[in-house]
A and B are shown apart, each in its own frame.
Chain A
Amino acid sequence: MIETKHITKIVNTSEGQLQILQPISFNVKAGESVAIVGASGSGKSTLLSLLAGLDQVSEGEIYLDSAGLHGMDEEQRARLRGEKVGFIFQSFMLVQSLTALENIMLPAEIAGMDNPRELGQQILEQVGLGHRGTHYPNQLSGGEQQRVAIARAFITKPKILFADEPTGNLDAANSDKVEKLLFDLNRESDTTLVLVTHDPELASQCQRQLHMHAGELTEVTEQPSGSDADIQQMQAS
Chain B
Amino acid sequence: MNSAFNLAWRLFKHEAKRGELTIILFAIVLSVASVLSLSLFSERLQSALTARTADFIAADRLLDSEDPVDPQWISKAKEMGLATTQQVYARSMVFGNEQMTLTSLRAAADGYPLKGEMKTSTEPFGLGEVTEFLPATGEAWAESRLFQNLGLKLGDKIEIGDSDFTLTRVITEVPDSGFSVFGGNPKVLIGYDELAGTNITGPGSRITYTYFFVGDSSTLDDYYDWLEPQLDRELHYWMSVEDDDSPIGRSVARAEQYFLLASLLAIVLAAVSIAVAAQRYSQRHYDPVAIMKTLGASKNTVQRVYLYQISFITILGIVIGTIAGLGIQQLVVAAIADRVEVSLDVWHWRPLIIAVFTGIVCAVLFSLYPLLKLFSVPPLRVLRRDLGAGMSSRVLQFGATGSAILLLMWAYSQNLKISLILFVSGIVLVCALLAITYGLIAVGRKLGQGKMGAWQLAWARIKRRAMDNSVQLISFSITIMLLLVVLVMRNDMVSQWRDQLPQGTPNYFMSNITEQQRPGLDAHFQQNNVQTDVFYPVVRARFVAINDEKIRTAVTKEDDEQQDQGRNGLGREANLTWSSTLQNENRIVAGKWLDSWQEGQPYGVSVEERLAERLDIKLGDELTFNIGSEVVDVEVTSLREVNWQTMQPNFFFVLQPEVMQAFSPTYITSFHLPSEQKAKVSELMRPFASVTLFDVDARINQLREIVDQVSLAVEFILILVLIAGSLVLIAQVQASMDERQQELAILRTLGAKGSLIRSSVVFEFLIIGIVAGAMAALANELTLYLLQSQVFQMQGSIHYEYWLIAPLVGAAVVGLLGAAGCWRLLTLNTSQLLRKMV
Contacts and interface: CB of A to CB of B under 8 A. Distances in A.
- Residue picked from B3, B6, B836, most chain A C-beta under 10 Å: B3
A176 interface: no
Contacts of A52: 294
A136 B18 contact: yes
Interface string B1-28: 0010011001100110010100000000
Nearest to B293: A78
Interface in A82-136: 82-83, 85, 87, 89, 91, 93-99, 102, 106-107, 109-112, 136
A15 interface: no
B639 to A, nearest CB: 66
Contacts of B290: 93
Contact of B380 (A55, A107, A112, A136): A55
B296 A82 contact: yes
B14 A98 contact: yes
Contact of B298 (A78, A94, A137): A78
A97 B385 contact: no
Contacts of B383: 45, 48-49, 54, 89, 164
Contacts of B298: 75, 78-79
Interface in B422-459: none
A97 B288 contact: yes
Given A89-B383, A110-B301, A81 B295 contact: yes
A233 interface: no
Residue picked from B288, B295, B299, B301, most chain A C-beta under 10 Å: B295
Which among A74, A93, A97, A152 has the highest number of chain B CB atoms within 10 Å?
A97
B287 A78 contact: no
B292 interface: yes
A112 B287 contact: no
Interface string A153-182: 000000000001000000000000000000
Nearest to B20: A97
Contacts of B297: 78, 82, 110
A40 interface: no
Contacts of A152: 295
B295 A107 contact: yes
Given A96-B838, A98-B10, A79 B296 contact: yes
Interface in B303-354: none
Interface residues of A, number: 37
A75 B299 contact: yes
A138 interface: yes
- By CB atoms of chain A within 10 A, which of B290, B299, B838 has the most? B838
A38 B816 CA distance: 50
Interface residues of B, number: 32
Contact of B3 (A48, A95, A99, A109): A109
Interface string A40-69: 000001001100101100000000000000
Contacts of A93: 287, 290-291, 294, 382
A116 B824 CA distance: 40
A75 B384 CA distance: 20
B14 A99 contact: yes
A99 B7 CA distance: 12
Contacts of A136: 14, 18
Contact of B291 (A82, A95, A138): A95
Contacts of A87: 294-295, 382
B18 A81 contact: no
Contacts of B15: 97
Contacts of A138: 835-836, 838
A83 B291 contact: no
B838 A111 contact: no
A43 to B, nearest CB: 12
B807 interface: no
B382 A81 contact: no
Nearest to A164: B383
Contacts of B295: 81-82, 87, 106-107, 110, 152
B382 A102 contact: no
Contacts of A45: 383-384
A37 to B, nearest CB: 16
B773 interface: no
Contacts of A102: 10, 14
Nearest to B7: A109
B296 A54 contact: no
Given A75-B299, A102-B10, A164-B383, A97 B18 contact: yes
Given A91-B385, A93-B382, A110 B3 contact: yes
B296 A95 contact: no
Nearest to A52: B294
Contacts of A97: 11, 14-15, 18, 20, 288
A106 B382 contact: no
Interface string B362-386: 0000000000000000111011110
Contacts of A54: 294, 378-380, 382-383
Contacts of A95: 11, 287-288, 291-292
A222 to B, nearest CB: 26
A102 to B, nearest CB: 6
B6 A109 contact: yes
Contact of A78 (B18, B20, B296): B296
Contact of B11 (A81, A94, A98): A98
A79 B296 CA distance: 5
A97 B14 CA distance: 6
A181 B457 CA distance: 45
A137 B7 CA distance: 17
Contacts of B836: 138
A87 B383 CA distance: 11
Interface string B556-590: 00000000000000000000000000000000000
A81 B294 CA distance: 7
Interface string B270-293: 000000000000000001101111
B17 to A, nearest CB: 9
Given A87-B382, A98-B10, A98-B11, A110 B18 contact: no
B310 to A, nearest CB: 15
Contacts of A96: 287-288, 838
B164 to A, nearest CB: 92
A112 B5 CA distance: 12
B14 A111 contact: no
A112 B15 CA distance: 23
Given A93-B291, A95-B287, A102-B10, A110 B838 contact: no
Given A75-B298, A98-B11, A136-B18, A106 B380 contact: no
B377 to A, nearest CB: 11
Nearest to A145: B838
A53 to B, nearest CB: 8
A91 B15 CA distance: 21
B381 to A, nearest CB: 9
A83 B296 contact: yes
Nearest to B13: A97
B836 to A, nearest CB: 8
A106 B18 contact: no
Contacts of B380: 49, 54-55
B296 A107 contact: yes
B838 A106 contact: no
B139 to A, nearest CB: 83
Given A81-B294, A97-B288, A109-B6, A137 B14 contact: no
16 contacts: A45-B384, A54-B380, A74-B378, A78-B297, A78-B379, A87-B295, A93-B287, A95-B291, A96-B838, A98-B10, A98-B11, A106-B295, A109-B6, A110-B297, A112-B3, A137-B838
Given A45-B383, A78-B298, A110-B295, 11 more contacts: A49-B383, A55-B378, A55-B380, A78-B296, A80-B296, A93-B291, A93-B294, A109-B7, A110-B297, A111-B296, A136-B14
Please give me the 10 A-B residue pairs with the lowest Cβ-Cβ distance, nearest first: A82-B296, A107-B295, A109-B3, A81-B296, A97-B15, A95-B288, A110-B297, A97-B14, A54-B380, A54-B379
Interface of B: 3, 6-7, 10-11, 14-15, 18, 20, 287-288, 290-299, 301, 378-380, 382-385, 835-836, 838
